[in-house]
Structure 1
Amino acid sequence: MIDLIHQDWFVTAEGQCQPRPIARPWELLQDHYYLHQFLSDIVQLLSNAATETDQWDYLPQIRQRVRQLMLNSYWLTTQRAEPDPKTGAAVLTLYDEIGYPLTVQTVTTNPGVTTPIHNHGTWGVVALLEGQERHTLWRQQANPDRLERVGHHTLRSGEIISFCPEAIHQVETIGPTPALTFQLYGDTQPQARYQFEPDPFLAKPF
């Protein structure tokens, strides 16, 4: 069961996790809000951006649409794959076609699963439907190249965290139960997405 009232967050390029205002839940409730309506709304929002790099300016509106989907779609919480026994994680793509500008998926991870330190090369919005995650936040310093850990943030069921394209994080599933997330990303450019090692500094395609 997703809690109705929770905080939204935004992670900057400097690794700061900032609270963001949310709409009152009862203003978002409606009889139905289907995935195809949600995707159409997002694509329409992004069509207002002059360039792809301007898309993340629309994160406040995108977060609101994601919360609207969370509140009105029981179906969303049923879309999950069983984690792989070896990796402890599973990704289920909810919609995809050639040239589609969004990544839309749910991810299920077992307790204790930790991702590499990484960025996404685009804006992102992650809604935690079940469980808990700890996001360790980093920032890259160009001169000299090094990675600095800024802090961490615990994301709880019902909360949404969003990222600017330069944000760097590492995610660990914590608590006694698996985490289920709904994840939405912009058009990721492979040459802009990296996995990092902090000491000595190393960046490689992810």
Structure 2
Amino acid sequence: MAMQDWLVTNEGHCLKLEVVAPAEKLSRPYRLYRFLTDLEDIVETVKDDHERLKLIFPLVRRLLNSSEWLQMNFLPPDPATGWSVLMLYDEPDFPITAQTVVWAPGSISPIHNHGTWGIVALLNGQEKNTLWQRYPTAELPDHIAEVGNIQLQPGDLIGFMPDAIHHVEAIGDDPTISFNLYGETNYPQRFEFDLTQSSAKNF
């Protein structure tokens, strides 16, 4: 399976990164609790989000390669919304959230940022990410413009800096299934953007 790592900057530029797959062969499964412990060590010692993400990518690949249960642990998309979220880990006062997300074919998310770093690993289907950047004016402080797009295939990982703005679209005939990992998700700077009104509201 072909795989690629991508990193979206705060300005919406998509950088192609070298894929660093763990070389060692594990004698036992790399379980979620071990992954979270290794992740905590990075979060506590590395304060720069760009550097954090580059260190976290190999851990996510190790988890996906070792934990087949992730491939099967998801909810079918809600017919009303076209998507579903299954929370795998969310602990109060600990800035890590892990979940699986499913989008029905043709579903499109709102334009949004996350207000924190994040990594999405595509497990199934195809997903198009359209990337945006703020171009504020005195009259329209939340004006945005499209920067580009990237299409993800199974095995691809994409990381987002806190102010990266995007929306996702499930393309093809199959649902998209992804493993999503985020830092703190209760930040007040997480917004949904209205392109026609050039406005933003808390998301």
- Percent identity of paired positions between Structure 1 and Structure 2: 43
1:36 Cα deviation from its structure 2 partner: 0.7
Name which of 179, 192, 198 aligns with 1:201: 198
> Do the aligned partners of residues 57 and 132 (structure 1) sit closer, same or farther apart at CA in structure 2, a change above 3 Å counting?
same
Residue-by-residue CA offset, 1:75-104 (whole Å, 9 max, x unaligned)? 111110111111121100001222121111
Structure 1 runs of 4+ aligned residues shifted over 4 Å read: none
Q: Is the 8 A contact 1:125 1:160 kept in 2?
A: yes
Residue 129 in structure 1 maps to residue 123 in structure 2: yes
Q: Is the 8 A contact 2:21 2:58 kept in 1?
A: no
Instruction: Please point out which of 57, 61, 65 is paired with 1:67.
Output: 61
Letter in 1 for 2:162: P
Structure-2 change in CA distance of 1:28 and 1:110 (3 Å): farther
Q: Distance in 2 between matches of 1:73 and 1:148?
A: 39
Is the Cα–Cα contact under 8 Å of residues 122 and 189 in structure 1 kept in the other structure?
no
Letter in 2 for 1:170: H
Partner Cα distance (1:109, 1:21) in 2: 28
Contact 2:127 / 2:168 at 8 angstroms: preserved in 1? yes
Q: Quick check: 1:109–1:178 contact (8 Å CA) kept in 2?
A: yes
Paired residues of 1:28 and 1:68 also in contact (CA < 8 A): no
CA distance in 1, matches of 2:180, 2:21: 22
SS in 1 for 2:108: coil
SS at match of 1:121: coil
The 1-side partners of 2:157 and 2:49 are apart by 18
For 1:123 and 1:92, how far apart are their aligned partners in 2? Answer: 19
**Unmatched tracts of structure 1, length 5 or more:** none
Q: Which structure features the higher share of helix residues? A: 1
Deviation at 1:199, TM superposition (A): 2.8
**1:105 partnered with 2:99:** yes
> Shift in Å at residue 28 of structure 1?
5.1
Contact 2:116-2:187 within 8 A present in 1 as well: no
**Structure 1 contact 29–72 (Cα < 8 Å) conserved:** no
Q: Comparing 137-146 with 149-158, which one deviates more in the overlay? A: 137-146
Unaligned 5+ runs, structure 2: none
Q: Is contact 1:119-1:165 (8 Å) kept? A: yes
- The answer for the alignment partner of 1:152 in structure 2 is 149
* TM-score (normalised: structure 2): 0.93
Alignment of 1:4-19 (within 5 A): 5-19=2-16
Q: How many angstroms apart in 2 are the aligned matches of 1:106 and 1:152?
A: 22
Between the aligned partners of 1:132 and 1:62, the Cα distance in structure 2 is: 23
Match of 1:174 among 152, 155, 171: 171
1:119 aligned partner, one-letter code = N
Which deviations, in whole Å up to 9, do the C-alpha atoms of 1:35-71 show, x marking residues without a partner? Answer: 1111111011111035xxx344311111110011111
One of 29, 34, 37 as aligned partner of 2:31: 34
Q: Which amino acid aligns with 2:56?
A: I
What corresponds to 1:80 in structure 2? Answer: 74
User: Could you tell me which residue of structure 2 aligns to residue 163 of structure 1?
Assistant: 160
- CA root-mean-square deviation: 1.5
Residues 55 and 15 of structure 1: CA distance in aligned 2, closer, same or farther (over 3 Å): closer
